[in-house]
Amino acid sequence: MRSRFNTTFRLLPLFFGALAINSPPARAAAETTLSSVAVDISSDTRPQASNRLTEQEKAAGWRLLWDGKTTDGWRSAKAEVFPASGWVIKDGVLTVLGKRGQEAAGPGDIITRERFSDFELVADFKLTPGANSGIKYFVQLNLDPVTGAGAKTATGSPIGCEFQILDDVRHPDAKLGRDGNRTLGSLYDLIPAAADKAPNPIGEWNTARIVVRGSHVEHWLNGAKVLEYDRGSQNFRAVVAQSKFKSIPGFSDWRDGHILLQEHGNEVSFRNLKLRVPGSK
């Protein structure tokens, strides 16, 4: 895998200027770890079946976050059981069906039963034209959802950090927010993904990667890093203060949280959800 950034904190110069970073030794260690992650998943170029682990992945501590067949390990964000309708499992693909394009107006989001702190997650996703969805992490079910303007609302998606999944050309959300921070691969409403990101065409599979190491977080799209940030840093808090999450005390300071697949009223599919936790070999 290759990185598209040479800046340090890497919140994109066009968005926030030159920003502070971790200590050089810590950053060097992180870069080494992430390089090994790339080899674990991507060095084997042979065709692989969906929702299966290679022997190399197993040895590196990866596991399936979704088994490709059942709802085991997942539940509704609104209830203790998996939604009775609106999510379809077929041929190793998990699909949320469209419903008027409204956030959480249909079957609702689904979340992992487990909570995670440090982790590495990869997931394939496929958009339909004009679709909107997301992969959230550090999801907190005890916080009220908020509207796009930051006001509390009775319905909506739970609060968490979000890897935005969006048809940037057709969906209006791509033009909202600040400096493109609601586009594909962005940390939703906070940090825009790299302008030179390379998504595959609508209707084809893309691969998201989310890496969390303590306070340091990275988003990757199709093998390239598109952003990174440090939770709790002064610069990150300044970004939050300009976002829809500004009224949520300690946003993103949570020690752990659920992983969530978002239902936003559009048809979006997922497969190959794989995760590993440090020290899980």
CA dist 70 and 14 (Å) reads 44
Per-residue pLDDT, 9: 40
Dihedral-angle region of residue 229 (phi above 0 means left; psi in -120 to 50 means alpha; beta otherwise): beta
Is 158 a domain residue?
yes
146 domain-assigned:
yes
Examine the pLDDT at 195 and tell me if it is beyond 70: yes
Q: Is 24 helix (H, G, I), strand (E, B) or coil?
A: helix
Work out how many domains the chain is built from and give that number.
Answer: 1
Domain that holds residue 203: 2-276
Mean pLDDT to the nearest integer, 203-228:
98
Per-chain mean pLDDT for the chain:
84
- Does residue 29 belong to any structural domain of this protein? yes
State the Cα–Cα distance between residues 259 and 137, nearest whole angstrom: 4
pLDDT on residue 52:
96
Average pLDDT over residues 37-55: 62
pLDDT above 70 coverage of the chain, percent: 77
pLDDT category of residue 38 using cuts at 50, 70 and 90: very low
Q: Which CATH number characterizes residue 96's domain?
A: 2.60.120.560
Residue 34 has pLDDT above 90, yes or no: no
Is residue 281 a part of any domain in this protein? no
Mean pLDDT (whole number) for 247-263? 94
Mean pLDDT of 33-42: 41
The per-residue DSSP string of 139-154 comes to EETTS--B-TTS-B-S
Residue found under tokens 């030179």: 196
- The answer to whether residue 42 scores a pLDDT higher than 70 is no
The predicted-structure confidence for 166-179, as pLDDT tens digits, reads as follows: 999 999 999 999 99
